[in-house]
Amino acid sequence: MNTTIMLFLLQDGITNGAIYALLGLALVLVFAVTRVILIPQGEFVTYGALTYASLSSGQMPGTARLAVAMGIVAFCLDIFAGRRSLHRRLVGRAFAVNIVLPSVIFALTFWFAGRHPPIAISIALSLLIVAAIGLFLYRIAFQPIAHTSVLVLLIASVGCHLALQGFGLVFFGAEGQRGPTISDAAFTVGSLRFTGQSLAVYAITIAFIVGLWLFFGFTLTGKALRATAVNRLGARLVGIRTTLSGQIAFLLASVIGAISGILIVPITTLYYDTGFLIGLKGFIAAIIGGLVSYPLTAIAALVVGSVEAFSSFYASNFKEVIVFTLILPVLVLRSLAAPAVEEEKD
């Protein structure tokens, strides 16, 4: 170990930590608004990355068909839920969101898939596809049981993770893929070399943190989400649609996950199940942040990334063990410090 190696490891740790920060922020956002521990966050990473890689190689991603199928199921659920008060506006809105939107996305994807679209179009289509999947996932799996206990929501989250991982194997196969870099630019500072891809990771992470701060602090929708996170019953009493809040939270989480995957896939080869491990490291950062604090989650993610980088140098065989061990003292301290309270009943 010397200064140059230490700087390289620190740079690698910060780059990985920035990705974990994005995922940790998404997990905190979803849990605060819906009380769902979003285990499928890793699948959003995988779907975003491999959809982008498939489009860049001129292939039609199966995730576009999944979005259409989930939209049809969501439409049937909306019609069934509102069967006692059906009217044109309700049916029209449900048809537009659940049928027209994913169909348009599928048509655009089918049109561009065989034409090797530019990177910007591949990124945009990947984000649209994964965002639709995230939106419909909440509508199908979590909205009907939104008022149950955290344990029931966790069990549903595990089931969604297993189902989406299985679909990922069907759509993308067992072999890994890599996507094109967002930018080929590079420059050196001393002994360190910064690529355009790593700079994109830093810039997008900072932009998302600032954007979420502005969104929650200065927009009406963001304040409604904060109110839902504080007290779901009180939010409903003052006219906030907690169902819509949950949909927005899942939409943001899926977009953040897809962006994270798009940033990762040019750097390393991703497989259909790789996102789960990446999402778990974001989950560690979210747990250290108490599933409530965005700044603490971002700082914890940088620590997790740095520990992972140095562990890979000193004990590469035990890298994952060391990283996941970070969660143990945090859980012990929080269990000792937190008072015993009954779960809120809505």
CA dihedral over 21, 26, 27, 31, signed as positive or negative: positive
- Which pLDDT band holds residue 124 (cuts at 50, 70, 90)? very high
- Which pLDDT band holds residue 28 (cuts at 50, 70, 90)? confident
* Amino acid letter, residue 315: A
* Amino acid letter, residue 302: L
**Ramachandran category for residue 216: left, alpha or beta (phi over 0 → left; psi -120 to 50 → alpha):** alpha
pTM of the model: 0.86
Instruction: List pLDDT tens digits, range 39-51.
Output: 899 899 999 999 9
CA separation for the pair 305, 311 (Å, rounded): 10
Distances in whole angstroms, Cα of residue 1 to Cα of each of 4, 64, 204:
8, 47, 31
Average pLDDT of every residue of the chain: 84
Q: What is the pLDDT of residue 280?
A: 84
CA separation for the pair 321, 315 (Å, rounded): 10
CA separation for the pair 212, 19 (Å, rounded): 16
For residue 52, the number of C-alpha atoms closer than 13 Å in the C-beta half-sphere is: 33
- Mean pLDDT (whole number) for 201-212: 82
- Mean pLDDT (whole number) for 157-167: 92
CA separation for the pair 251, 257 (Å, rounded): 10
Instruction: List pLDDT tens digits, range 77-87.
Output: 888 887 777 77
CA separation for the pair 123, 262 (Å, rounded): 7
Higher-pLDDT residue of 153 and 202 is 153
User: Residue 270 phi/psi, 5° resolution?
Assistant: -110, 145
- For residue 192, count other CB atoms closer than 10 A to its CB: 12
Per mean pLDDT, which range of 120-134, 223-237, 272-286 is the poorest? 223-237
Instruction: List pLDDT tens digits, range 53-107.
Output: 999 888 899 899 999 999 999 999 888 887 777 777 878 888 898 999 999 999 9
Q: What is the pLDDT of residue 341?
A: 54
For tokens 């089918």, the residue is: 110
Give the rounded distance of the alpha carbon of 219 from its chain centre: 22
